[in-house]
Amino acid sequence: MYQATLKHVNVTAKVAEFVANTDWEALPPPAVDRAPLLMLDSLGVSLGAVCSPAGALVLRMEGGDAFGSLPATGSHDGVTAIGLKQRTSVATAAWINGTLAHAPDMDDTAAGTVAHPSAMLVPGLMAVGERQHSSGRAVLGAYIVGLEVFYRVALATHAQMRGWHRTSVYGALATAAAAARLLDCSAQQIAVAMGIAGSFASGLQANFGTMTKALQVGHASRSGVMAAMLAKEGASANPDVLGDASGFGHAFYADEFDTSKLVERLGDPYSIVSPGIGLKIHPCCGLTHTPADLVLELVQQHNIAPDSVQEIVVTAEPLLATVLVYPRPQTGDQGKYSLEYVVAAALFDRQIVPETFTDAGVMRPRLQAFLERVRLKPRPDADWPADVRPPLAHPAEVEVRLVSGERLVASAPCARGYPRRPLTSHEVEEKFRRLAGQQLSVDQAGQIIEHVRRFAQLRDVADVMRLTAAAR
């Protein structure tokens, strides 16, 4: 049952002290160098999602369309919600921008967690930072330690699912801690913020393949911000929500929650440095990315036509069968969580782009008929080489069996963009330009990139967020 491995130690207080007391000078240079690029990536994904179904929905819900023609609801803190020209409240901005940051399924992944931290941390911190007129250095420091909290909670849960959406559950706690630091809360107040967020945390795996998956992430960002603001104003909560025998670990992961993982060698190394944060290049579930890369590689090398293929066998970790639950998808959202569809689309279209995941694209008759030719062959995690063993990496092997009898095989330790095969700074900036270009002018996108390049020197992060206001 519940593993309270550190008896009589308030582990939440230990985490909160780390968040509150880690000085900027103590942060390793590789973490400080990497963080702005990850934040740029998250902002780009949010900008690219403004006209997505989930993005358009949350913008309408807040009283404005994608062009900000109606006033936003709620109190006004002068904060930017991407896609609305009007300023809005901190909580609303965190919810909208957090939903947008996850809607296209192109947000980053913390290696070893199978979860996506920046989609909550960046929207939440930028909303608080804009209202507070925080410096770039203050936001970066909060972001880096927030990533560490996210990673440590994931380690304590052994990255289990148990039906929960890991991203939103971990993210509410991490965003609360990071936002509370940015609000200059004491260690005791940060522990309270995490206690409040533990009650706010939610999100179900059953909603994968629907708009609600992105809404869960927006809710987590808003929940973390609200928890931090409540703690700052004097709200109370259990001071050890992570270590209490009836707290977070018991409620969410009763069979396996190891409190020692929360504090052992905390920040040594920082998770942003090792095992690292992976970036996505395909707009779909990250577990499909290595197979997609391999199929695209084989198609390019051998000029494979769909009619020449008898079967495609994907050998990968067993987790794929748990997460990719739509072998015969009927909608674009379901297609993002279908190994069969992503592999078939890579073969038919020779690319994976946002337009791949429209309802019409998924329901193409020839492609639907081909889905039965794609087969997953699970290989136990322990059977992969130690240096690429899941969940620290997501290795895969693809075998394309042709009608002629020829067999084409390719393998990779992970998808391109993940820590073992990282994108260059130029590639990340080009991804941002491509996504932001759906909402901003070329000049605005370039200005944001320039601001982020010198993020640690910014006096006010509002200078960045206000450039994201709708231009079209």
Residue 68 or 235, more confident: 235
Does residue 1 carry a pLDDT above 50? no
Residue 436: inside a domain:
no
81-87 average pLDDT score: 86
Token representation of residue 236: 């109370």
Residue for token pair 């994608």: 66
pLDDT tens, residue by residue, 298-350: 999 999 999 999 999 999 999 999 999 999 999 999 999 999 999 999 999 99
Residue 245: inside a domain:
yes
Q: d(Cα 296, Cα 349) in Å, to the nearest integer?
A: 9
For residues 360-388, one letter each, b for 16 or more C-beta atoms within 10 angstroms of the residue's C-beta and e for the rest, the string is: ebbeeeebbebbebbbbeeeeeeebeeeb
Residue 464: inside a domain:
no
Q: Which residues pair with 258 in a beta bridge?
A: 3
Report residue 15 CA to chain centroid gap. Answer: 22
Number of folded domains that form the chain: 2
Average pLDDT of the chain is 93
Q: How confident is the model at residue 91 (pLDDT cuts 50, 70, 90)?
A: very high
- In this predicted structure, what is the pLDDT of residue 73? 41
Q: Which residues pair with 309 in a beta bridge?
A: 402
End-to-end CA, the chain: 54
Please say whether the beta carbons of 280 and 232 come within 8 A.
no
Asked whether residue 311 falls in the same domain as residue 197, the answer is: no
Report residue 310 CA to chain centroid gap. Answer: 35
Residue 218: inside a domain:
yes
Asked whether residue 197 falls in the same domain as residue 125, the answer is: yes
Q: Which residues pair with 410 in a beta bridge?
A: 398
- In this predicted structure, what is the pLDDT of residue 5? 55
Instruction: Return the CATH number at 306.
Output: 3.30.1330.120
- Give me the torsion for CA of 215, 221, 18, 204, rounded to 10°: -20
- In this predicted structure, what is the pLDDT of residue 170? 98
Asked whether residue 170 falls in the same domain as residue 116, the answer is: yes
Q: d(Cα 299, Cα 295) in Å, to the nearest integer?
A: 6
Asked whether residue 274 falls in the same domain as residue 166, the answer is: yes
394-411 average pLDDT score: 98
Asked whether residue 121 falls in the same domain as residue 249, the answer is: yes
Residue 434: inside a domain:
no
Q: d(Cα 223, Cα 195) in Å, to the nearest integer?
A: 12
Does residue 70 carry a pLDDT above 80? no
Please say whether the beta carbons of 348 and 366 come within 8 A.
yes
- Please state at what angle helix 118-132 crosses helix 90-102, rounded to 10 degrees: 150
- Nearest CA to 29 out of 212, 355, 269, 279 is that of 269
348-376 average pLDDT score: 97
- In this predicted structure, what is the pLDDT of residue 161? 87
Q: d(Cα 21, Cα 25) in Å, to the nearest integer?
A: 11
Q: d(Cα 272, Cα 216) in Å, to the nearest integer?
A: 23
- Find all residues with CB under 8 Å of 305, minimum gap 6, and list them: none
φ and ψ of 195, to 5 deg: -65, -45
- Nearest CA to 454 out of 43, 141, 145, 37 is that of 37
Q: d(Cα 59, Cα 209) in Å, to the nearest integer?
A: 20
Asked whether residue 92 falls in the same domain as residue 114, the answer is: yes
Q: d(Cα 105, Cα 343) in Å, to the nearest integer?
A: 16
pLDDT tens, residue by residue, 123-154: 999 999 999 999 999 999 999 999 999 999 99
Does residue 66 carry a pLDDT above 50? no
Is the backbone peptide bond immediately before 329 cis, with ω within 30 degrees of 0? no
215-238 average pLDDT score: 98
pLDDT tens, residue by residue, 422-447: 999 999 999 999 999 989 999 999 99
Q: d(Cα 120, Cα 176) in Å, to the nearest integer?
A: 10
- In this predicted structure, what is the pLDDT of residue 3? 54
Token representation of residue 421: 């095969």
Instruction: Return the CATH number at 261.
Output: 1.10.4100.10
Distances (CA, A) of 388 to 116, 266, 317, 385: 19, 23, 11, 6
**Residue type (1 letter), 54:** A
- In this predicted structure, what is the pLDDT of residue 277? 97
- In this predicted structure, what is the pLDDT of residue 69? 39
Asked whether residue 336 falls in the same domain as residue 269, the answer is: no
Of 397, 412, 427, the residue that ends a domain is 412
Asked whether residue 202 falls in the same domain as residue 261, the answer is: yes
Residue 168: inside a domain:
yes
Residue for token pair 């038919």: 348
- Please state at what angle helix 136-156 crosses helix 166-182, rounded to 10 degrees: 140
Q: d(Cα 28, Cα 10) in Å, to the nearest integer?
A: 27
Distances (CA, A) of 329 to 49, 173, 210, 367: 22, 33, 11, 11
Token representation of residue 90: 């901190």
Report CA Rg, the chain.
22
**Residue type (1 letter), 391:** P
Asked whether residue 269 falls in the same domain as residue 345, the answer is: no
202-218 average pLDDT score: 96
Of 278, 301, 323, the residue that ends a domain is 278
Asked whether residue 184 falls in the same domain as residue 74, the answer is: yes
Asked whether residue 268 falls in the same domain as residue 323, the answer is: no
Residue 456: inside a domain:
no
> Can you say whether the dihedral through the CA atoms of 382, 383, 385, 390 is positive or negative?
negative
- Expressed as residue numbers, the domain containing 118 is 11-278
Q: d(Cα 55, Cα 45) in Å, to the nearest integer?
A: 11
Q: How many beta carbons lie within 10 A of that of residue 26, not counting itself?
A: 9
Token representation of residue 436: 């932001």
Residue 4 or 30, more confident: 30
- In this predicted structure, what is the pLDDT of residue 139? 98
Asked whether residue 243 falls in the same domain as residue 304, the answer is: no
Of 373, 393, 412, the residue that ends a domain is 412
- Coil vs helix vs strand at 409: strand
Q: d(Cα 99, Cα 394) in Å, to the nearest integer?
A: 25
Q: How many beta carbons lie within 10 A of that of residue 434, not counting itself?
A: 14
Residue 377: inside a domain:
yes
175-180 average pLDDT score: 98
Please say whether the beta carbons of 381 and 390 come within 8 A.
yes
